Amino acid sequence: MHNSNELIKNKFIKEASLLVKKIFEYTHPEDEITLEVAEDALQFQMFDYLEIPFLPKEIEAFTFIDLFAGVGGFRLALQNIGGKCIYSSEWDIDAKKTYRINFGEIPFGDITKQETKNFIPQKFDILCAGFPCQAFSIAGYQKGFSDTRGTLFFDVERIIEKHRPKAVFLENVKNLISHDKGKTFKVME
């Protein structure tokens, strides 16, 4: 969990404990892991941080947030040049497990929910977002903003408008620029 504040902890402890339980079951298949063990591990920060492969640099050159974080591709790149991730969000359970193993943190959940957006820090230098590409990809149905996944861009847009970062990195597919004869990209500009 990113914050030990009681109000925040109480709101997310169950989801975080379930995720830690699944991670421990994966990393320690020979042990029986209960929800209580997982919650205790969260409470007392009983993680072996020496085994985390991608720790941030000691000197922080800038801060960033990692939306639609996946397994942490943007984070790895920005950490390697001195960035400090101060918030991450990902809803996929398997990606969250991998993110935890890679970086020692469990991302917040669904960024479309206001309760998740409420924990985004007010100030940060860079916003990174790898929002879903299936709605625009030539390999998909190309429904664009008619596909729910395509509208996730607008959640990113609202966060940008509210927080006004110095830079924004968005990852998507080649077809995004030409999708719907360029109309989709025009909307995003």
Phi-psi map region of 70: left, alpha, beta (phi>0 left; psi -120 to 50 alpha): left
Active-site choice (133, 160, 170, 188): 133
| Contact partners, residue 25, CB within 8 Å, separation at least 6 | 33
Two tokens, residue 141: 């149905």
85 is catalytic: no
Burial of 149 (0-12, 13-18, 19+ CB in 10 A): middle
Please tell me the distance from the alpha carbon of residue 117 to that of residue 113, in angstroms, as a whole number.
7
Closest CA to 152 of 110, 94, 101, 95: 110
Two tokens, residue 108: 């917040």
Active site residues: 133
